Amino acid sequence: MKRTQLSQRGPNFSRMVYGTWRLLDTEPNPQEVNRRLHACLELGITTIDTAEIYGLYEVERMLGAALALSPGLRDRIEIVTKAGIYVPYPQCPERHTAHYDASGPRLIRSLEQSLSLLGTDHVDLFLVHRPDWLTRADDTAAGLNELLRTGKIREAGASNFSVSQFDLLSTHMEKPLVTNQIEFHLLHPEPIEDGTLHQCEKLGVPPMAWSPLAGGRIFDPTNPAANRLAVAAKSMSSRYDGATLEQLAYAWILAHPARPLPVIGTNNPERLRSAARSEAIAMEREDWYALWEAAQGRKIP
Ligand SMILES: NC(=O)c1ccc[n+]([C@@H]2O[C@H](COP(=O)([O-])OP(=O)(O)OC[C@H]3O[C@@H](n4cnc5c(N)ncnc54)[C@H](OP(=O)(O)O)[C@@H]3O)[C@@H](O)[C@H]2O)c1
């Protein structure tokens, strides 16, 4: 597995990242999650993406328990976490309405809670999970800058930020933001044209691409785009050593010049291995456009 430097300073991440949003869907115990982390390492996937909200605020605790089973494992991986989304849940009866909060003090409090749950003194990258419409960018940046100064976060970034939101937050940062984690896949190619990927390319900041398989929708037989993609993938598979639709979907993301890092979401160990193999696929230009056309159901303009 190749590696990617997110900025000249770092961090240095595996080209594909393992995402933990769905980690608790199969109700694993810490031993199983520990085995999953080791399986990632064996595939060269050293970067683990999480967030305080995942599993209704329980995934980080599970990751911390899994890491504690193998002393030294924490130092072999890079941890990305995020904060800023607050939804009602049983352990927090005073919260009634889902909301965003990216104010500096709130981000600091959340990150400190994440460190405690994960059992670590720092994360390698901390992202503002979503833009908060009620917080000034200088307030958000003050929290991030403070966390950077203390070393509790090695780098800071954003997630789901528009070009102007990323630009605005950047103007207040003491160290440049190193990524924008965005939805980017065959069924959501908008970042190609809306300026998001252009901004990443211009700043030399590789984006992270979430839901690279559209959350599983590229396999949905009731979805016409998924069916067209299945046909297109079958027609080109032999040119890529029998690659599957999912491998071609990852390769399609990896081929974009902004150098996106797909964040893999499967809980299935065989699919994880298959995903890692897609990193070696060098997709031909015509096949890349053929997949775009199949997903869109129209010719390129
Ligand atoms: N920043 C953000 O706002 C944001 C938002 C969403 C996600 N994320 C990050 O991105 C990561 C990945 O997101 P995601 O889980 O939506 O990724 P995804 O890879 O697009 O979707 C994973 C889903 O697809 C299913 N799947 C995979 N291969 C399949 C196949 N061959 N046939 C049928 N179903 C298949 C998986 O089921 P199995 O488990 O059974 O394989 C799983 O339910 C998350 O874990 C999280 O870290 C970030």
Residues of the chain with pLDDT under 50: none
| 279 close to ligand 1 (CB < 6 Angstrom) | no
Considering the domain boundaries, does residue 27 fall inside one? yes
Per-residue model confidence (pLDDT) at position 264: 98
Domain membership of residue 301 (yes or no) is no
Structural domain includes residue 258 = yes
> Does residue 182 lie in a domain region?
yes
Q: Is residue 160 part of a domain?
A: yes
- Which alpha helices (H) appear in the chain, and where do they start and end? 30-42, 54-57, 59-68, 104-118, 137-150, 163-171, 196-203, 224-236, 245-254, 269-277, 285-296
**Angle 30-42/269-277 helices, nearest 10 degrees?**
20
Examine residue 181 and state whether it is found in any structural domain, yes or no. yes
The DSSP result for 227-249, as a single string, is HHHHHHHHHHGGGGTT--HHHHH
39 C-alpha vs ligand 1 centroid, how far in Å?
17
What are the pLDDT digits (tens) for 197-236?
A: 999 999 999 999 999 999 999 999 999 999 999 999 999 9
How much is the pLDDT for 183?
98
Ligand 1 within 6 A of 247 CB?
no
Write out the two tokens for 74.
């924490």
Q: Which of 18, 54, 240, 250 is catalytic?
A: 54
- CB count, 10 Å around CB of 3? 12
> What integer pLDDT is reported at residue 190 of this predicted model?
98
The domain that holds 107 is classified in CATH as 3.20.20.100
What is residue 23's predicted lDDT score, i.e. its pLDDT? Answer: 97
- Residue 255 C-beta-side C-alpha neighbours within 13 Å: 20
Buried b (16+ CB within 10 A) or exposed e, 183-212: bbbbbbbebeeeebbebbeebebbbbbbbb
Cis omega (within 30 of 0) for bond into 11? yes
In a domain, 101, yes or no: yes
pLDDT at 53: 98
Structural domain range at position 94: 3-296
Task: Write the single-letter amino acid at 253.
Answer: I
Nearest-angstrom CA–CA distance, 165 and 182: 13
Q: What is this structure's pTM?
A: 0.98
**pLDDT of amino acid 150:** 98
How many domains does one find in the chain?
A: 1
Residue 261 lies in a domain: yes
Catalytic site includes residue 54 = yes
Tell me how far apart the terminal alpha carbons of the chain are, to the nearest angstrom.
35
Q: What's the gap in Å between 18 CA and the centre of ligand 1?
A: 10
Structure tokens at 111: 């990150």
Residue nearest to atom 7 of ligand 1 (CA): 210
pLDDT at 296: 97
